[in-house]
Structures are given as structure tokens and as C-alpha cells.
Structure 1
Amino acid sequence: MQNKINFILLLFLISYSGISQKELMFVEGFAQGTTYHITYLDTNERFFKKEIDSILHDFDLSVSTYNPNSIISKINSNQENVELDNYFVTCFNKAKEIYKTTKGAFDPTVYPLVNAWGFGPGKKEKIDSKKIDSILRFVGFDLIKIKSNRIIKKDPRVCLDFNAFAQGYSVDVIAEFLNSKGITSYIVEIGGEVYVKGKMLDGSNWIIAIEKPIDNKAAENPALITINLDGFAIATSGNYRKYSIENGVKYAHHIDPKTGYPAKNNLLSVSVVSKKCITSDANATGILVMGLEKAKKFLKKHTELDALLIYSDDTGNYQYYETPNFNLFRKKE
């Protein structure tokens, strides 16, 4: 999994006299092959790590392709009578929605291609045009549906991969849990996807940083810009964290469902802000696959999304495109 956004909490804010450090709660751990960090304000000083770990464990048992006993893994291996849960159904329905709006740029049935290129749990295969063409015959989200709470495939080789947006959805799930506990100010980050609600007790905003899209598999990159959110989620997809290099050629892990090859365009990073992290995450993936010009047209049509696109020009320098309202989220000095 990739770390796609760094979030920065200005902890010096708690030093002002009106805030008790005991009210600022931290929970962190591991889930979905990555880390999570959750910070929230609670005058009752409740520590929710056990409950959060339990939720994320159940989430993995539903939609993680890295867990052979998960619902999605059972479906991919064509086990019979697999019952679907709410996590899986929500992911499936959102995937169908984004598949349609992005005209197929976002497609979870690329899973066999993801594996073939060595970006999934499967073993990397030898890639040539014949291999790609053979796999493309059973790639397409119109080849699979839900009926009576069961998956129906037109071809048994069709497989699903929700990893491109499941982390975003898990952020929403944890946010809903915190809401149910009466927590009104928090920041949830899982694998770089973030949802923020409320403010610090002194009225200051939680602060999130979007990093520079520098090729770097192991560590955090320097911050490019910082933004403030309240009641919004942000997810970033980029080609700088998970990639391979063969014979001097870089192959990013975002697969174009139409060609079967890693998406090749000048987009380096796509950050999407919306009301739900599952929406931000799925759209960020689809937009990155589209490329810059199609992305601009898509975003002008889908004004419910705000986005920052970072791309390289002919000389290799960073250039930026942002939707009209994205500037409203930029950190005010």
C-alpha cells in the first residue's frame, strides 16, 4: 500500500491554557498493509483503539485481497454461496457508480492485470501484447453484478480489486464510529487517506499537507502545500510511491483498464476533496488514469469534487491545475 498524503497536526496548539492535553486522544496502529493515525478531542478521555482495531479487522475480512479468507478473495477464487456484507456491497456499488461516471477509467476488475504486472499479491508474470489481450477479455465491470446478495459473473475469471479505494472507505467507517460516540472534532488518516471534522478547542483548524510527487517508495516526501478541512475528506493518487523500473522504463501501478498497461500520461499526482473519503479515493484513481485533458473536462462536469492536479510539462517542471473552489481549502496564513 502507498502512503499518499502526509497529515500534519500542529500539536503546539494544545499548549494554550484553555486546552487540556488529556483531552487530545491519539490512536495509531496497522491495517490493510499500512498504518493508521487517528486524533480526536474527548473530554471523557476515552481510548478507542480496541474498538477501532476490531472494526478494521472486520473490514479486512470483507474487502482485502491480501487476506485469503476475505469475502473478496473467496469471490475471486469462485467459492460458492459467498454471503456479502455491508462493507463489500458499499464498495461494489460505489465502484459501479465511479466506473460509469469515469467511463471505465476506474474499474476494479483490473485485478488480474494488477497481479500480472506485479502490483498485487500474485506473482509477476511475463508481459507481452498477447498476454494483455488474453486478460482484457475478462476485464470490465459490466461482466459482474450483485443479485440476491450474491455475486454473478459472466466469466469465472473476472476478479475484483477494491484496494484503489477501500482505504478511503475505511476512513469513512472509522469517522462514522467516532460520530456514534459523540466525538465532534477529529482527524482520521489511514494509508494517507484523510477525513477531518471540527476544529481544535481554540478554534484552530486541523492541518493536512499534500506532498511533492517525487519518486520515493520508502519515505515521506516534503510538503508541497497545506490545506484546512472541516467536514471533508481528501485522497491522493500518484505514480511516485508504487512503481517498478524495467530496462530503464518506469511502470506505475495504476493500470488503464482499456489498454491493460500502466497508465502513461503526464499526471503525477491527483488530490480530490469531497464529503466522503470513498468518493475522493475512487475518483482520484480514475482521474489519474484519464490523463490531464480528460481530467479537466471531467472535473468541470463533476462540481461536487474539488481537486489539485500536479503534472509535468515538456521540460519536466511541475505544473498545477486546480478546480475553482480548491483554493478555499488552502491554509490561510
Structure 2
Amino acid sequence: MKQTTAILVFLSACMLFSSCQQKQQYYTLTGQLHTPYVVKYEYKRPLTNEINAEFQHFYHLFNAFDSTSVISRINRNEDLSVKDTLFAKLFNTAKHVSEQTDGAYDITSAPIINLWGFGFSKKDSVTPGHIDSVKAFVGYQKIHLVDGEIKKNDPRLQLNASSLADGTVCDMIARMFEEKGIQNFMIDFGGEVVAKGVNPKGECWRIGITKPIDDASGATQDIQEIVTLCGRHALATSGNYRNFYIKDGKKYAHTVDPREGCPVQRDVLGATVIAPEGMVADAYATACMVLGSEGARKLKELAPEIEYYLICSDSTSTNYRIEYSEGFGKYLPAKE
């Protein structure tokens, strides 16, 4: 009898242990907020609620179109205190990249971009006087974070986190995954990616860079290059693929330089940056668009932790050329 009881206890314990050790599998969550997203991860159960909670927290902090968000209240000078460490990190990252690029990247530049309109729809009505008036309250040097509070030299200064927001939300979800011990995941939010480990096939994650095709609808998504991400990396792409023009037989991207307050002719049509974090990759990709290929090479010297891949206009034709940093080569498949 005692032996039978012992066997039953042993079997019950085994069954309990098995139920606790749920089998890991890959889950995929797709949707669209202000941009499409795809989240893939290997875990013992779905994490839809947890992922949505990160999205909600993200929008609470950085959605400039929500009057109750932290960034909106700062822009209206209603509450200049910064209690959230992620918000402080984003602000400090933006300031750092702004300093490295001498203002080619600037988180306060939204008024200038708005002045010209989407696709430069207002270009015929913009005058030098308009530019000068807006530039008076644009500039990363005019806003600071001191002891947990935003200080503005001019109360009209406003923050817009769109230039590094998508990379930031990828970081948020990745951090949540890693706190749960998840080793394999890929988060793609609007083309900005944070990936770790391997995909369901046990291979490195493969991310496509699209060709700069003159297609305003965006329906054409031909792949220029495949990037393989092994380990833990963030990737961000910035580009004016659908909004470039041809002048004197050469392609130019429509890019606004915050320092000049107007569109500039740069040779970079698309910039992809790999960095340790999504917000960092996102900011540097935007900066490369404004700096051009020569400026990107100089920026790499100041920021050795990044690698870049540029699709540039060809100086002799309407075609384009490829340029990438030496370290980016290890993320590209071997050519036969």
C-alpha cells in the first residue's frame, strides 16, 4: 500500500511539473497603429496584452497628436517635469545626435518641416521671412533637461519625437521580452527593427531594404538588399524613396536641413543604420539623410557603434549607387 501511494505521488508530481513547463513556440502579432507592425517571439504563451500595454505607454509619452500625452503637455508648457526615465533617455539621445551632427538632426525642427508642408506642398508660398521667423524658435541648443525638468530658452519651442519614435517603441517591447527571458524575437514597427536570436527556422533574422523606385503610391516594394541580423541588433531605415526629383539628369531627395530651414539637395535617397538600440539607429538614419554620404562618413568616425548602408544618387545619371561602412558588410549575405 505504501509503495502504491508513493508511486501515485511521484506520478502526480511529474504531471504537475510537465504542466508548469509549457512548451515554447513562436507567436506573431500584426496590426497597424500610426504605421504597420509585426512582432514575432518565442515564448510559452501569447503576450498580446503585454505588447499592447507597451504601445499604450509609448503613445502616452510621445504622441504629439494626443493633447494628454507627456510631450503635448511639455509643448504647451503645462507640465515641464520629466518623471519617466524613457522620456529622459530619448531626449538625451536626441540632444547627443544633434550635437554630433551640428544640428543636421534636431528634435525641435517640426515647425520648419510643417512650414514647407507634406511633400513641400507649400513651397511656393514660403519666403525667407517665414523661414527666419520659424528658425527663431527651433534649435536643440535652446532646450535642456535639467534636474528632471525641461528648460526652454523660448516658450514656443516644441518637441517632436517622430524621427526616433518607431525605433523607441521597438526598444520598449524588446526590453519587456528580455525581462521575461525571451531569447528569440523580431519587432518591426514601421520598418524599424529590433531583433535578437533566431527565427522559427533557427536562422538569423532576414530584413529587406527596398529599392528607391519612383512610385508615389508606395505599392512597389522591390528589395534592394537583404540584411541578416544575428545576436542582438537594431536597424532603422530613413528615406525619401517616394519623394525625390530629377534635376539636370540627377536624382535628389527632398530633405529639409533644420540648420538652413529649407530643402537641400543631398545625394542620399535612403539610409539604413544598425546600432545597439532602436532609438539610436532611428536618429542616426534621419541624420544621414540630411548630411549626405560625405557627412555620413564623418559621422561614423564620431559614432563608431553604428554601421550604415546608403542608397545614393549617381552623379552621372538617374541611377543610384550603393555605399556602406566597412562593418556593415558582415550583415550582408556573401555574394557568389
Match for 1:27 among 18, 26, 29? 29
TM-score (normalised: structure 1):
0.84
Write the distance in 2 (CA, Å) between the matches of 1:176 and 1:244.
Answer: 40
- Higher RCO (C-alpha under 8 Å, 6+ residues apart): 1
Q: Is the partner of 1:236 in helix, strand or coil?
A: strand
Q: For residue 218 of structure 1, report the CA deviation from its aligned partner.
A: 3.5
Distance 2:252 2:332 in 1: 32
CA displacement at 1:77 relative to structure 2: 1.8
Letter in 2 for 1:106: Y
In the other structure, the counterpart of 1:261 is 262
How many angstroms does 1:29 deviate by?
A: 2.1
The aligned residue for residue 68 of structure 2 is 69
Pick from 330, 333, 336: which aligns with 1:328?
Answer: 330
Q: Match of 2:162, SS?
A: coil
2:303 corresponds in structure 1 to 302
AA matched with 1:290: L
Is contact 2:94–2:283 with CA below 8 Å preserved after alignment? yes
Aligned residues: 304
- The 1-side partners of 2:135 and 2:127 are apart by 12
Query: Following the alignment from structure 2 to structure 1, what is the Cα–Cα distance between the partners of residues 200 and 128?
Result: 58
Q: Shift of residue 219 of structure 1?
A: 2.9
Question: Matched residues in 1 for 2:205 and 2:60: separation?
Answer: 31
Matched residues in 1 for 2:243 and 2:46: separation?
A: 33
Report the Cα offset of residue 264 of structure 1: 2.1
Distance (whole Å) between structure 2 residues aligned to residue 81 and residue 296 of structure 1: 37
1:332–1:48 distance in 2 versus 1, CA, 3 Å:
farther
* Contact 1:114/1:253 (<8 A) preserved: no
Q: Is the 8 A contact 2:274 2:308 kept in 1?
A: yes
Change (3 A) 1:213 1:84: farther
Q: Distance in 2 between matches of 1:177 and 1:273?
A: 21
Q: Give the corresponding residue for 2:235.
A: 234
Show CA shifts across 1:187-214 (max 9, x none): 0011110011001365322111111122
The answer on whether the counterparts of 2:253 and 2:268 sit within 8 Å (CA) in structure 1 is no
Summarize the Cα distance change of 1:169–1:220 in structure 2 as closer, same or farther, 3 Å threshold. farther
Distance 2:220 2:35 in 1: 14
Secondary structure of 1:278's aligned partner: helix
Determine if the alignment matches structure 1 residue 312 to structure 2 residue 307.
no
- The TM-score with structure 2 as length reference comes to 0.83
Q: Distance in 2 between matches of 1:23 and 1:80?
A: 44
Return the offset for 1:301: 4.1
Q: Which runs of 5+ in 1 are unaligned?
A: 1-20
Structure 1 CA distance for aligned equivalents of residues 306 and 134 of structure 2: 32
* 1:23-172 aligned within 5 A: 23-31=25-33, 33-42=34-43, 44=44, 46-80=45-79, 82-119=81-118, 126-172=125-171
Aligned AA for 2:144?
A: K
Q: Does structure 2 conserve the Cα–Cα contact (< 8 Å) formed by 1:71 and 1:84?
A: no
TM-aligned CA distance change 1:94 to 1:217, over 3 Å: farther
Closer, same or farther in 2 for the Cα pair 1:313/1:65, shift >3 Å?
Answer: same
Contact 1:274 1:306 in 2 (8 A): yes
How much has 1:66 moved relative to structure 2? 2.1
Shift of 1:277: 1.1
Counterpart AA for 1:116? L
1:41 and 1:171 map into 2 onto residues whose CA distance is 16
Of the structure 1 ranges 80-89 and 182-191, higher mean CA displacement relative to structure 2 is found in 80-89
Contact residue 252 and residue 266 of structure 2 kept, 8 A: no
For residue 325 of structure 1, give the secondary structure of its aligned residue in structure 2: helix
> Displacement of 1:169 after TM fit?
1.0
User: 1:272 maps to which residue?
Assistant: 273
Q: Distance in 2 between matches of 1:74 and 1:243?
A: 35
Match of 1:188 in 2: 187
Distance 2:40 2:184 in 1: 9
- Output the amino acid matched with 2:227: I
Change (3 A) 1:171 1:241: farther
> How far does the alpha carbon of each residue in 1:243-264 deviate from its partner, in whole angstroms, 9 at most, with x for none?
899xxxx996742111111342
Q: Deviations over 1:216-272 (max 9, x none)?
A: 443351111101102111101101246899xxxx99674211111134212101100
Gaps of 5+ in 2: 1-22
Distance in 2, Cα, partners of 1:244 & 1:114: 18
Q: Which amino acid aligns with 1:24?
A: Y
Change (3 A) 1:139 1:252: farther
Q: What SS does structure 2 have at the residue aligned with 1:166? A: helix
